[in-house]
């Protein structure tokens, strides 16, 4: 498994998260929806397929150590926990950068750019990162 293949899979997961996040109401009262709004079965199956492919292809590679984070993200996605789905993927990106720095993997310029873009995309998915709310809560 090459870094580009690994990043393709992460991109697929991010795409699934974006689609799910877009379907959520902008404000959900926690008392009304205590367990979150679950994604559709097809979306869960697609997410699971990507995670399974990563786990299968990463066997015997330096990327194998990241499998637990993908499983954690999948489990959160299945239950509709958006934050719990995003955080493990951010941890994977941090770990990839650490692996690159420690010379465990080689990451080209294009892949470095993709890692940065994926990080931005994941941060945009996180609750509370709405630009229209910028400036709120700062007082007058």
Q: Residue 31 pLDDT more than 50?
A: no
Residue 36 DSSP symbol = -
Q: Residue 106 pLDDT more than 50?
A: yes
| Calpha distance 133→39 (Å, rounded) | 25
36 confidence band (pLDDT: 50, 70, 90): low
Residue 9 near residue 66, CB atoms below 8 Å: no
| Calpha distance 95→45 (Å, rounded) | 26
Single pTM value for the model: 0.81
| Calpha distance 133→45 (Å, rounded) | 33
CA 16 to centroid of chain Cα atoms:
9
- pLDDT winner (highest mean) among 25-29, 73-77, 79-83: 73-77
| Calpha distance 61→79 (Å, rounded) | 30
């Amino acid at each position: 498994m090459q870094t580009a293949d690994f990043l393709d899979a992460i991109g697929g997961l991010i795409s699934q998260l974006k689609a799910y996040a877009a379907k959520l109401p902008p404000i959900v009262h926690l008392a009304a929806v205590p367990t979150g709004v679950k994604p559709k079965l097809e979306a869960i199956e697609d997410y699971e397929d990507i995670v399974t492919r990563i786990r299968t292809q990463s066997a015997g590679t330096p990327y194998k150590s990241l499998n637990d984070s993908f499983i954690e993200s999948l489990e959160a996605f299945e239950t509709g926990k958006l934050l719990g789905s995003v955080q493990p993927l951010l941890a994977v990106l941090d770990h990839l950068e650490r692996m690159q720095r420690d010379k465990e993997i080689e990451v080209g310029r294009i892949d470095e750019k993709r890692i940065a873009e994926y990080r931005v995309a994941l941060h945009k998915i996180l609750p509370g990162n709405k630009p229209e709310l910028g400036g709120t809560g700062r007082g007058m």
